[in-house]
Structure 1
């Protein structure tokens, strides 16, 4: 019944907004990933071959994402300017894919640091770009 009420034009807008916000859901999963994984990485049963991580290393895992956030915001601006919002939004999938690959294949804490910086790049770009994209495709009414 809800979809019958909405015209085809609005359905397309709704679908585009949902698709654009999928990167936000992926980013949320990445941010929340640290809550269950840090206690595991600090335990004697750590999956890292290098052994359990220290409290300082766990702190860095949580904080290096901010460096990537600043970088992501600065990197997405020229991509948006020269190639458009759609290409810039699609380009955010690249660091996000690399970060999950690093987390899956990494065997020490430095891979996790690099993945978290890439997560920040994705987040910084996403927070700058998704609202612009949604405002651009939304009906003025």
Structure 2
């Protein structure tokens, strides 16, 4: 049984599933990103030229991911219905690229809000499309 599991027939599936989970792992990084960053953004040594963020702003940094996630789940469900799971899965990388670009070039808290919103969009796509895509490509055994 185990040797059959390691046969050539399954290697393409393993490779495809591993590739799909790269975006999932990267999304996981963005979910945990605020834990070490918010204390830095609230301190006087903040990298933001606009100065330290307030408690309310830090709260919004955490919350905007959920807003984007709600919209992303609906958006990517519509995309995969009309264009297919593969296209929807590829499109999850677009907001992900935007989010890291916003974090890289952002000089105030609004860039971070936008980045966290884009992270939510990616997350909505990941949780709604990845399981369906894997179910489609996986062997029925």
The answer to whether the superposition gives a TM-score over 0.5 is yes
Counting matched residue pairs gives 140
Gaps of 5+ in 1: none
Q: Is there any run of 5+ residues in structure 2 with no aligned partner, and where?
A: none
Q: RMSD of the TM alignment (CA)?
A: 1.4
Q: Distance in 2 between matches of 1:14 and 1:135?
A: 13
Asked if the contact 1:3–1:11 (Cα under 8 Å) also holds between the matched residues in 2, the reply is no
Q: State the match for 1:102 in structure 2.
A: 102
Change (3 A) 1:90 1:42: same
Structure 2 Cα separation of the partners of residues 102 and 13 of structure 1: 34
* TM-score, scaled relative to structure 1: 0.95
TM-superposed CA distance for 1:81, in Å, is 1.5
| Residue aligning to 1:117 | 117
Change (3 A) 1:113 1:11: same
- Note the 1:1-141 alignment, pairs <5 A: 6-141=6-141
> Deviation per CA, 1:31-73, whole angstroms, max 9, x where unpaired?
1110110000000010000000001100110111111001001
